Amino acid sequence: MQIEAVTGDITEERVDAIVNAANSSLMGGGGVDGAIHRAAGPGLLEECMELRRTELPDGLPVGQAVPTAGYDLPASWVIHTVGPNRHRGETDPALLASCFTSSLQVASDVGAASVAFPAISAGVFGWAMGDVARVAVAAVAGWRPAEAGSGIDLVRFVLVDETARSAFAAEL
């Protein structure tokens, strides 16, 4: 599996699946979450509302992941995951790593060969970019699919600026 770090806009990535740094409600928000919801169009919110009505009445737990269609995005899939929030005392690196490994497993389950990730939990959730980069790269590099032959060939970390990209590049 090839792993790379680039600067860019995750909503414009031409990959099979992009990962959304979602909140547990799945109803959109700020940052990456809001940008993905705006770019995907109203179908994404409708599908998220249906997930809340059926499979996830209490919301998506931290560290887990769930897929939806990509709607108006270039990506066919959006994999939603909720990162740990340091401001709420969620400081366990294993919980952050689970966001990446759970998302990869969901991507594998839907047949995605290429996946783009943001810096989950950096920014408003209070994790330092260097810590996110270290945990994310180690989690992705160490991930093994539940079944042989995951088909994931490319993982791309799509980062907001050169400082963030450099933090991830240093870990690659």
Phi, psi of 90 (to 5 degrees): -85, 85
What proportion of the chain, given as a percentage, has pLDDT over 90? 92
Residue spans of the domains in the chain: they are 2-171
**SS3 state at 19:** strand
Q: Residue 150 — very low, low, confident or very high, per pLDDT cuts 50/70/90?
A: low
52-105 pLDDT, tens digit per residue, is 999 999 999 999 999 999 999 999 999 999 999 999 999 999 999 999 999 999
Among 16, 33, 58, 161, which one carries the catalytic annotation?
33
Q: How far apart are CA 36 and CA 116, in angstroms?
A: 12
What is the pLDDT confidence band of residue 149, given thresholds at 50, 70 and 90? low
Q: Is 33 a catalytic residue?
A: yes
The topology (CATH level 3) of 2-171 is Leucine Aminopeptidase, subunit E; domain 1 (3.40.220)
Q: Helix crossing, 42-53 with 31-40: angle to 10°?
A: 110
Spatial separation of the C-alpha atoms in residues 145 and 88, rounded to whole Å: 31
Regarding pTM above 0.85, the answer is yes
